[in-house]
Structure 1
């Protein structure tokens, strides 16, 4: 027989961004929570840790734009309880050169539908407002004020601290070896203990298919090794977060960047520019070819950001075929939720964790959308 100390209302597998948030929101609901992480808390092997991540209202789909409102509101609640500043508003730019990979009208229409204030700027207006940009005349930009930076690693740590303060047990270096049904709940077997829980949240990201295997679920996921670079900018004053926005360049290469935050220089990276790997084959070494593409871009378009690297970090992207979220119940269950942010989810992490808890405990959530469904065609019948 198991000890009462090993019985929980909610188990959380994986304590990165989504799992840490789920542990907090579960504990905040007053249920007994255990969170199990296979590595140390705050480890750098996945996708959750860095100084900064972009938060924005701009998306090409009204579903996502609507969800961003929940994202900002959830971060505000966590900041209020913790007393820590987690979001820094900088404004945000979506830049569309000739032949973009995304159409600006889709972004404009989605934001209009959801009442998000924004501006459409031509190249001259863009450069007049932010002289650091060097762009050709055909570039157009969409600017919206409600965008900025989430202090990523700080936010993860805050979720865990608050969860523990509310009674959650969060256990690092405790990989789950086996999940088995037990009555209406589940037994989570580890090397040293077996934890029993009534409901379950799975937030395993690049390890997701391994954890889902006992449920007979396998998703067509691709895992990429990506990297971000913080530059010792030639003109650091131009990249102060008080005056320079976060940005996304909607062309090939698909670039993004943030002003100085966590390091005394701007951060620039390619979205989806790295090689395909597994969690076991990935390295932590910068890719010189990737670096060359980034440096060429900033020399052309943000020359004031050019300079030697201050820091280069690698991370993993875990991508669905359509790059839409998974935020749903595990097929065939009514009390096991799981989620994937597919390389653009951190901004939603707190709201995402809250939704995972709603699904696991209540079996439903207003954010259980067809776009995020686990049984959608792109996941069950991939091309």
Structure 2
């Protein structure tokens, strides 16, 4: 049985703060600072360049990838870390396109994270492919025989709507296409099962629900059936079959290793390793059950106490990730008022209040405080102050 009281104690959570923004940046695990300090003191300072072998820096992307694999329904030796999520999207999408010669259509939806669409737009321009973007509810109907790749983010970053990974993967593959899934708002929040769904490629970041810290490295997964055939356009020396032979001609490493690009961010990976320690012993089915319980309780509380807002997320938890979005015409001002009172969520234009529930550290008390604080702000009209109407950049 997963002890969520223990996992909560593993994080540094500032006093007086109810943190419901773990879907943008997870809080710091308490022992992350010590782990990074030890790496710098004992490994970088003490070992210098020999740390690549003695401290295992070179193998770190695979070692950490194996720990993430369990959380996303993947197997050992199928996930590798490094670089940013956009780079991993580019690698996965370019490799998938290359595996479907003669087909040039990439299908995505308007709920996808814009950066993923930017990557697809650039790759389409470079290769002569076509990017088709449809409404999320129209994806299944838009899967046609000319499709090369279906590229989707499983959980919508704005509303929390969750795609049917298994169903859409089967539909795309039935049309002869491959799938690329972005797990940025899935990994560490919902019960992902890549192998069970039969997906082809997946990518994700680690600074959100996995709590790896600001700018923590991304991961990429390739289904074993494609691992030795995938040819990413972005080829780096760490993905070479013999990187230290310094051969001027690229030869891909076997399996997932070919998806490595540049030198791994060792310090950032040390912080991520500390974060992944918190996941040891966490049952993903229990995590999902807690996520559903928290989000359902929040929705019920808001419906009862805050009639001024409109639910923007699916009411059915099977269709929703671990976040809840609410619509209000002054959403930015209301969110700033919430933050001012110690309840941290975030805002998405034009009118969304977004609350991410991270089961490892959020509990029923956080739900109750968030509902009560939102209700008080709306009742008092305390959000309707000039200082809250000045729009600012928010994450």
TM-score range, shorter chain: under 0.3
Please state which structure has a larger fraction of its residues in strand: 1
TM-score between both structures, scaled by the size of structure 2: 0.24
Please state which structure has a larger fraction of its residues in helix: 2
TM-score between both structures, scaled by the size of structure 1: 0.24
